[in-house]
């Protein structure tokens, strides 16, 4: 098995779906993003968004939760490469975060991850940087969230 096969380069993996219930939207927003259209249903109807919707941070945090729940366990179990099983390390962060459409109360959002590429890290022999495209889609297939993320992977 090559690292490209292990990382599933170019393959979009569905991480799962999550329904954003009104009470969960409000609870998250009260703690982390207390905007009127996240915490008050009546005021949200009169806002520019037209209804109660999840914080973008809530949507991004849900992607992260599902990503962690859907680690590459199958690939790890199937590893047959020449070195020990790759170990996932920390993420150096994300970039190009875009909240493209509101996520309204009651919507079920589907989250995906696509491994794009990997490269050695010159300053950390035996480690690679795995680049990912992270996305979420509403029930009509419209993209509501996208960002580029990365993770360090020890391969030796």
pLDDT-based confidence at residue 77 (cuts at 50, 70, 90): low
3-state secondary structure of 62: helix
What proportion of the chain, given as a percentage, has pLDDT over 90? 78
Please report where in the chains the tokens 């962060």 appear, as a residue.
93
The radius of gyration of the chain from alpha carbons, rounded to an integer in Å, stands at 18
Query: Over the stretch 31-47, which tens digit does the pLDDT of each residue have?
Result: 999 999 999 999 999 99
Contact at 8 Å (CB) between 154 and 83?
Answer: no
What pLDDT was estimated at residue 74? 59
* Residues ≥6 apart with Cβ < 8 Å to 110: 14, 16, 17, 136, 137
What are 111-155's pLDDT values in tens digits? 999 999 999 999 999 999 999 999 999 999 999 999 999 999 998
Here the tokens at position 126 are 């035996």
pLDDT of residue 99: 96
* Residue-level pLDDT at 153: 92
Q: What is the pTM of this model?
A: 0.90
SS3 147: strand
Mean pLDDT estimate for the chain? 92
């Amino acid at each position: 098995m090559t690292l490209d096969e292990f990382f599933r380069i170019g393959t979009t993996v569905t991480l799962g779906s999550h329904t954003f219930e009104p009470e969960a939207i409000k609870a998250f927003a009260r703690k982390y993003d207390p905007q009127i259209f996240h915490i008050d249903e009546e005021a949200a109807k009169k806002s520019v968004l037209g209804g109660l919707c999840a914080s973008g941070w809530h949507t991004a945090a849900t992607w992260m939760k599902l990503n962690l729940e859907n680690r590459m366990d199958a690939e790890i179990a199937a590893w047959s490469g020449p070195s020990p099983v790759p170990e996932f390390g920390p993420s150096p962060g994300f970039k190009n975060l875009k909240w493209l459409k509101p996520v309204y109360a009651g919507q079920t959002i589907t989250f995906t991850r696509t491994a794009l590429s990997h490269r050695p890290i010159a300053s950390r022999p035996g480690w690679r940087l795995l680049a990912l495209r992270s996305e979420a889609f509403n029930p009509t297939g419209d993209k509501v969230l996208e960002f580029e993320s990365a993770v360090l992977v020890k391969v030796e």
